[in-house]
Amino acid sequence: MITERDALFFHAPTSKEDALYWAETNAWTFYLPEEEMMVIVYALFRKPHGIVLTNVYVVKGFCRYPYEALHNDFYVHLPIPAGIEIGKYQLANGLSVEVTKAPMDYKVDYVARDGTELHFTYEGLMPPYDIQDPRMDPITAVRSKEALAEHQGFGTAYNGHFDHTGHYVGVLKLRGKTYPIDNVSTMDHSWGVRPESRSGNMAWGNIHFGRDLAIHSIFTIDPRAGGAYGPLAHGYVMENGKCYGLVSGKGEVTERDGFYSRSIAVEAEDVRGKTYHYTGRAMAAFPWYYLPNVCGFHTMLEYEMGGRKAYGGVMDFLHMDYMIEGRL
């Protein structure tokens, strides 16, 4: 179960050996569908080393290279300011984050050197989904520790991890234009041993109909073996403020452009026995090298389920060795 402390304070490495690659992250991802734009705010703290990697990007349409973003501000070795905690910090790149109601709500502000500004509040619409809690996650409840380590997404980096659906409200100021933000989307928070290579492949994706309904899923993937997603690592349905873990699911990339998902189809079932079938078509894409050795091929999609439209995205994370080996 996620507590207030998990959102407010850094987690200490579990051993001296773990300190080398120990990382704690938070990430906010949201979309401006009417503009075909997507935004990420990201911070990866390596507290034992006193440094933080942070990236803020804004993308419109299909981008194949990092420099095609409308805004892409990436720092690898910013110093962690003395005395801060994960629940309240301000970084030298102009990013400030504050937990206003732990572990549910946040306030995020960002003023970049090029004049770009981003200001939003995030209101959690459900309890944070703890993928390690067998009372919350039905897949964790039945899998062995060995199977969880292999199929939980980023392996040991997800030994502490929650996903969360919430409501983003604010403004984006970019190149003389102001864009209102009013979007239900997802954020996450992780802590654990996070090596910079061989971290595993996964598809981290979500679909948001509004404040009443959203679905989040993490699948393991092997694009070279075909378009199938699976097995399902974790996931949930958020319905009217309540959270229901997924017990099964499968997906398929029905149209792939290199490593980008141009269209997908997903089926999932939650603990109540309710089933969901939805399809998505890409509106924007970006290669997010969140670490130099790992790329998240981020795609924004317009979804359809039962005649109802929704928006969200999927990030197909692939490590560099995997991509290189596929070309040999």
Distances, alpha carbon 19 to alpha carbons 45, 48, 245, in Å: 12, 6, 32
Residues 5, 87: Cα–Cα separation, whole Å: 9
For 35, the 3-state DSSP assignment is helix
pLDDT, residue 307, reads 95
Q: Give the pair of three-digit tokens for residue 307.
A: 């005649």
- Please give the pLDDT value at position 326: 74
Tokens of 56: 């803020």
User: Contact 259/274 with Cβ under 8 angstroms?
Assistant: no
Would you state the pLDDT for residue 143? 76
Is residue 320 helix, strand or coil?
Answer: helix
Distance of CA 125 to the CA centre of its chain: 16
Whether the Cβ atoms of residue 75 and residue 62 lie closer than 8 Å to each other: no
pLDDT value for 198: 76
**Structure confidence by residue, pLDDT tens digits, 119-170:** 999 999 999 999 999 999 999 998 766 666 666 678 889 999 999 999 999 9
Banded model confidence at residue 274, pLDDT cuts 50, 70, 90: very high
Q: Among all chains, which residue has been given the structure tokens 């959270």?
A: 243
| Kind and range of the H or E run holding 161 | strand 160-174
Give kind and range of the element (H or E) at residue 148: helix 145-151
Mean pLDDT to the nearest integer, 17-21: 95
Q: What are phi and psi of 203, to 5 degrees?
A: -110, 115
> Phi and psi (nearest 5°) for 199?
-90, -5
Q: With beta carbons less than 8 A apart as the criterion, state whether 108 and 119 touch.
A: yes
pLDDT for 206: 97
* Average pLDDT of span 263-273: 97
What pTM, to 2 d.p., does this model score?
0.95
> Model confidence over 52-103: pLDDT tens digits?
999 999 999 999 999 999 999 999 999 999 999 999 999 999 999 999 999 9
What is the identity of the amino acid at 193?
V
Cβ neighbours of 123 (radius 10 Å): 15
> Is the dihedral angle over the CA atoms 221, 30, 298, 75 positive or is it negative?
negative
For residues 121 and 58, what is the distance between their CA atoms, to the nearest angstrom? 18
For 97-128, write each residue's pLDDT tens digit. Answer: 999 999 999 999 999 999 999 999 999 999 99
Amino acid at 87: G
Give residue 185's Cα distance to chain centre. 10
pLDDT the model gives residue 144: 67
